[in-house]
Amino acid sequence: MVTWLNKVLPRPLDPVRSIKVKLGLLLVASGAAGMGYFWWAIGWLPPMTSLTAIGLALLTSQVLAHGMTSPLREMTAAAGAMARGDYSRRVRATSRDEVGELAHAFNKMAADLAAADQRRRELIANVSHELRTPITALRAVLENLVDGVAPTEPAALRTALAQTERLGHLVADLLDLSRLDAGVVPLRRVRIDLVDFLGEAVEHAAATSAGVGRDVRFRLHPPTAPLTGYADPGRLHQVFANLLDNAARHSPPGGTVLVSAAERDGRLHFEVADEGDGIPVEERSRVFERFTRGDRSPGGGTGLGLAIARWVVELHGGTIAVLDPHPESPGAPPGCRIRVTLPATAPL
């Protein structure tokens, strides 16, 4: 009904470019219509009194309209500044009418755009840094080999291969994030045996760690009963591959990474725990942000694995969080414990 009225009713004041003038014309037209009816009904109208009343109404409307239209002028100026890349401008929003609500919405939009622009700048800076480091190292190795400074031996080639693999992992992670941002990551949920699935993930993580020379043991604590779930096996494997690799990188030599699973209250709970230095409480909410690697150890990761893990878990309708470590004996390292919670049943 409202849409139909908006289409049918005329809009004669659209050519006027000032809302203050529109309000003045509105008052003059309304007053003139009322006085015209008054004149027609009684046959007489005091001319000076009528003109004075219209003039006072017009002046009052302009004074009051200044405060009403001030947020609109500020929004116009702020929008122009935002088009030039300045997202710091805000609109004074003190009224409680529709214009005030629009000003509040505009300020929120400006804050969101400023945050998005800051994230974009940080992403560009972080990607540039992450790409520059392995490229510089790879270039140095290849220059030494070409110039004959270093002999062509397996150690030098392994260094070049490691840097190339790091570049490949970074590009793959960035591609996954771009797909997640674009919302083009389809989930092909199937029923999977989680015990077998976790066993394969642990075996793959152990082989990967052994291949890069990490002295870390992986142990799966199997559930007491058969455990099945509905998930995308490829995406879920990506989650545990990132979690296990992160735990292995931050574990001390000879440390153990423990993986466990259980079903409680209609949800599946997975935990990956290491024996490293742990994550401070104030940093636990940030470890799932892009390019955040924390201060536990240099590690050498891209800082994207946990961000991808969080997004994949959320695509499955679950949650991921860093928990307090299990109670340990005095003097033992605190360790890090990450829990993934997923729905136990298939989505409707």
pLDDT single digits (tens) 229-261? 888 888 888 889 889 988 888 888 888 899 999
Rounded to 5°, the CA angle 85-89-91 comes to 140
Q: Quick one: 292 and 328 in the same domain?
A: yes
Q: Which domain holds residue 15?
A: 2-89
pTM given for the model: 0.57
5 strand-pairing partners: none
- Which comes out higher in pLDDT, residue 318 or 3? 318
Rounded to whole angstroms, the Cα distance separating 309 from 290 reads 11
79 within domain boundaries = yes
Dihedral-angle region of residue 299 (phi above 0 means left; psi in -120 to 50 means alpha; beta otherwise): left
DSSP 338: E
Instruction: Report residue 54 as tokens.
Output: 């219209």
DSSP 327: P
HEC profile of 219-257: EEECCCCCCEEEECHHHHHHHHHHHHHHHHHCCCCCEEE
- The domain tally of the chain equals 3
Condensed to tens digits (0 to 9), the pLDDT of residues 119-174 reads 777 667 666 766 776 777 778 778 877 877 777 777 777 777 777 776 777 777 67
Q: Quick one: 170 and 202 in the same domain?
A: no
Rounded to whole angstroms, the Cα distance separating 331 from 325 reads 14
221 within domain boundaries = yes
Exposed/middle/buried for 196, CB within 10 Å: 0-12, 13-18, 19+? exposed
Q: Quick one: 301 and 194 in the same domain?
A: yes
Q: Quick one: 133 and 17 in the same domain?
A: no
For 145-170, b/e burial (b = at least 16 CB within 10 A) is beeeebeeeeeeeebbebbeebbebb
Cβ–Cβ < 8 Å for 272, 248: no
Q: What does the pLDDT read at residue 299? A: 46
Per-chain mean pLDDT for the chain: 76
7 within domain boundaries = yes
